[in-house]
Amino acid sequence: MSRADTEATTPCTTMSCTTEAERAALHHALDLAAAPGVPAGPNPRVGCVLLAPDGRILGEGRHRGAGTAHAEVDALRSATGPVRGATALVTLEPCDHHGRTGPCTQALRDAGIARVVVARRDPNPVAAGGLDTLREAGIDVAVSEDPQLTARAEELLRGWEHGLVHHRPLVTAKLALTLDGRAAAADGTSRWITGPAARAEVHDLRECCDAVLVGTGTARLDAPQLTARHEDGTLRARQPLRVVMGEGEAPALPTLPGAGEALRLRTRDPEAALEDLFDRGIRHVLVEGGPTLAAAFLTAGLVDELIVHLAPSLLGAGPAGIGDLGITTITDRLDLELRDLRPLPTPDGPTDLRLLLQPRTR
């Protein structure tokens, strides 16, 4: 028997030991959790795969929104055969409390699951403790320490976890600028400051966020659709809530088949807007424009990360990419911490720079 066969079939007994087959199943469970079709809501996105002792997939499931079956129960219901003695691979620690549904720990115990492996423990004190309960019931448990699995689980759940701690959505602000900080030319034209690679990432961001937010000025000047689209212009499967914020006049967002719902928030207060969105189940907001809106969120200290697409171009005049921050002296500047820097090359366009930054606390 090869080393790979031994790893895939020999059970682990430590809290962190997982096999290749289990890691592959956890990746599949993360794919299930990230699949489109789950409405924005306060619950985490979770996937589950059931493996037989011989490595066959017996069932798979995912959580589809508040009030629906949790991923573990969904997987148990989908099972094509007996699951007693099987391993459950779950992206998040099974819940151990009674909410709208019963605890997943009880469902796994009742089904005779022999082993549970998770990509991430539950940080929610209300629902946490599931692995301890399962271990006490005699079920073997493990937490994956695979860095790739950990990173995928963190990315999938970061908006939800941010909401647990801060009681507001995670806010990502996005800017497209020339080297001299312009968002448009002197005549107001702005298409296109950045190249196709940067523009494609904007649609990736829209697809992964629960809501995309612009101000009334951007809505008037650019008439944006605020949809997540493929390169050919067709809509992607997952669409954000499309939000226009502000007290000024603005045209209604276009009604498009397959697009996300449109919402008008008649407030200039970023904190009030986030409170409203949080109450609607929104956990990750993309602030996309324009300069006044970006400045309002930055001034309020409500930007958690800033993504800047920087074009290797100069305009010399034209609207600035960020509005007035109320800063009058150098010592009051808003410092940013650079978290990532990489080029965005494209065959037929400029090589832009992508900067990921986090504002430091003033």
- Using one digit for the tens of pLDDT, what is the confidence trace for 126-167? 777 889 999 999 999 999 989 999 999 999 999 999 998 999
The first and second tokens of residue 312, run together, are 């290797």
Does residue 1 register a pLDDT over 70? no
Annotated binding site for substrate: 190, 206, 226, 229, 288
Amino acid 261: pLDDT: 92
Mean pLDDT of 102-119: 93
CB atoms within 10 A of CB 254: 13
Q: How far apart are CA 228 and CA 218, in angstroms?
A: 17
Per the annotation, binding residues for Zn(2+) are 70, 95, 104
Domain ranges of the chain: 3-155, 168-359
- Quick: pLDDT tens for 203-216: 999 998 999 999 99
pLDDT in tens, 214-231: 999 888 888 889 999 998
Binding residues: 70, 95, 104, 176, 190, 192, 206, 218, 222, 226, 229, 288, 290-296
Domain 168-359 has CATH 3.40.50.300: no
Class of domain 3-155: alpha beta
Q: pLDDT band at residue 7, thresholds of 50, 70 and 90? A: very low
54-104 pLDDT, tens per residue? 989 999 999 987 778 899 999 999 998 899 999 999 999 998 876 666 789
Query: Has 275 been annotated as catalytic?
Result: no
Q: Which of 72, 93, 161, 207 is catalytic?
A: 72
Binding residues for NADP(+): 176, 192, 218, 222, 290-296
How much is the pTM?
0.86
For residue 197 the two structure tokens come to 């690679």
pLDDT over 90 (residue 123): no
What's the rounded mean pLDDT across residues 231-243?
A: 91
Measuring CA to CA, which residue among 323, 326, 294 is closest to residue 308?
294
Q: Given this model, what pLDDT does residue 40 score?
A: 72
Q: Is 160 left (phi over 0), alpha (psi -120 to 50) or beta?
A: alpha
Q: In which residue are the tokens 């989908």 written?
A: 78
Q: How far apart are CA 36 and CA 277, in angstroms?
A: 20
